[in-house]
Each structure stands twice: as structure tokens, then as C-alpha cells.
Amino acid sequence: MDNFKFYVPTDIRFGKDRLADELPEALNVYGKNVLLVYGGGSIKKNGLYNQVIDLLGKNQNIVVELSGVEPNPRIETVRRGVSLCREHQVDVILAVGGGSTIDCAKVVAAGFYSEEDPWAIILGRKGYQGEALPIVTILTLAATGSEMNAGAVISNLATNQKLGVGGPSMIPKVSFLDPANTFTVPTYQTAAGSADILSHLFESYFNVTPGTDVQDFVSEGLMRAVIKNCPIALKSPDNYDARANLMWASSLALNGLTRNGKHGVWSCHAMEHELSAFYDITHGIGLAILTPRWMEYVLSEQTVTKFAQFAHNVWGIKEEEPIIAAKKGIQATYDFFKTCGIPMTLPEVGIDDERFAEMAKQAVAHSTIKADAYVPLAEADVEAIYRECLTESNFV
């Protein structure tokens, strides 16, 4: 296990009906001028928008709205948010939505204090050390874990780039996690969000760092929780306990708990970011399509022990022969995503092989997967994995 720093200062307010008593108090710590950030309007349909506006009005907040944040938040929206914050001297940002909304809010928060264009901050990648406006979040989708970490991912469609950035000042100060706010999430997004949670866990779990039993066993438990509760939430969207477990798993999967103490970079995210950058697809769907194919591609004598452990401890597979167990675990992963209603080939989401070479080149250029991944991947490897995603797969 490597040396690490675990810094997660977010004040989590988990559970039902906490906004009325606690949201004004959480905002008042930072000031009265609020930038309210949200997406395509689902919070207006489910009543959450009116609830928040009513609370802010009673609390005498001055509210400016940044609406229409995209599922893959775009740099143009970030720039618009920075302008609004400067024009209205915003004190605190309130992000109401899923990971895309929160990611957008994070870069707006940093952009407020920077003389650079927000895209320049993103091109600086993970090392942002400047100030940021305080952020409070109300989570409405279990997926990215952005409510409890420092990271954000922003898209630039003009350059076909989707890049991550992060820094300590971008960690939300307070996050309200009410599972009831996810009851109206459509089944497709519930499945995609669950795939995103699992991908975060997979990417940390399959790692070359030895001696990380604590991180690995926590990951395995969180994986089992998602695998158990996603189908329940799909069948019964208002099942509170299923939604609660997915929501908390989302936060714990990417707050450093399962990643700290390990080194190396993720593989599937680097490849999927190019799918989203070029085709603007749902992030979790792209991850679900890629992950089993990546698993099979990197399965070898060197990696089989970890994949067999995954099959045994996560999927309950009893097979003793490691290579057979590993393949059954990969098949179980593929079948789970498919059973959840996720399209499992790229043509089903409108992607053919026309730009595979270009995307593979950028996946390697925009990351260090060629040197620092669980199994290093060159451009030819990435393109081969993309090609495996063109048709249905069978791994056993």
C-alpha cells in the first residue's frame, strides 16, 4: 500500500426532509448571494425547484440561476456561470442535480477567481490549487460521486475534448443526500448511474499496487450493494432503501476511500471520455459497453488472480480454475449491464468505426494509460477494444 492523504471535508446531510431546517443554515455560513445551478428541468417537474426557491426566498437570499447544464457539461455553460457570478457578486453556489450539474458548478467556482479562461484551468488538469467559491449541493442522481470529491469533467465540443480537473477548493462544503430525490430518475438513467458507480469501483480495484486488502474488500462490498440494489430500484423506483444504498455507494466509490493508497491511472474512463467527446453519449452507458471488453482484453496469466478474486467475491462464482472463474466473472458483469436495459454495443448508441483511430489516439494523448494503467494500452490496443464493442460478446 502506498502513502496517501485522505481529505474529505464535505459535510454530508443524508436522509429525508432535511432541506427546510438545514439548507438556509448551510448557505448562510457563506453569504446571501446564491448562484442556483441545475440541468434540463427535471427538478421543476418533481417539485424540488419550487421547494428550493421557496426556502431561499424565506431566507432572503438573492438568487441568480444558471440552468440548462448539459449531461456532459460544456465549457460554454461554465463560462456563462462565471460571468453570472462576477456580475452578481455571488457568495455561494447551490448545485441541484447530478454529477454534471455539480461538475459544472465546481469549475464555475474556480473560474470566478481565475484570470484565465475556464478551459485553461481544465487544461491544467488535476492540479488546480487556486481559490473557489463555496459549493453546496443537493444530489438528485446516484452516479458520479461529485458531491463528495474534488473532481470535475467538462466537454469542449469544438475541440472534441472531454477532460477532468480538480483541486481541494472544489470539494463541496455541504451535500444534501435525500434518496427520495432520486425516485423520479428514469430507469435508463438509474441503470447508467449504477454502471458509473461500478466503473469507479472497477477502475480502482483492478490496480497493480500490492497489499491493499482494505480498499479492495470495501470495493467488493460496494459492488455487491450496487448489484443488489440497482435491479430493485429499476423495478420499484420509490424503494427508499434501494435508492439510499445506491446514493451512498455513489459517494463512497469516488471520495478516495477505495483509491487512496494505490497508484496508476484508469483505463475505461480514458477510453469512454473520447466516446462522449465525439458523440456526446451518456457517460455510464459508454462505460458499461467498454468495461467487459476491456476486462477480457487485459485478462492474462499476470492478471487472472485478481479477476478470479473478483468473480469469487463479487459474483459468488464457485469455479476453482482461475481462468474459467475470471471469464465467468466478466460474463456476469456483461450480463448484469444487459439485464439492466443498457445497450451493450456501440452501434446501438449511434457509434460506428469511422473515428476509432482518432479516438484511440486522443485517449492515449489525454491520459497516461500507455504507461501507468493496470495493463498499459497503446493506440492499437484502445482501437481493438473499441472494435470488440461493435457486436454482442460472449466471454465463456
How is the chain split into domains, by residue range? 11-182, 187-388
Q: Which residues contact 160 (CB under 8 A, 6 or more apart)?
A: 274, 277, 278, 362
Low-confidence stretches of the chain (pLDDT beneath 70): 125-126
* Assigned fold of 11-182: Rossmann fold (3.40.50)
State how far the Cα of 206 lies from the Cα of 212, in Å rounded to an integer. 11
How many of the other CB atoms lie within 10 Å of CB of 100? Answer: 27
Cβ–Cβ < 8 Å for 356, 387: yes
Domain 187-388 has CATH 3.40.50.1100: no
Average pLDDT, the chain: 96
Tens digit of each residue's pLDDT (9 = 90 or more) over 145-183: 999 999 999 999 899 899 899 999 999 999 999 999 999
Tens digit of each residue's pLDDT (9 = 90 or more) over 228-238: 999 999 999 99
Of 225, 204, 313, 353, nearest to 269 by C-alpha is 204
pLDDT, residue 115, reads 87
How many of the other CB atoms lie within 10 Å of CB of 211? Answer: 11
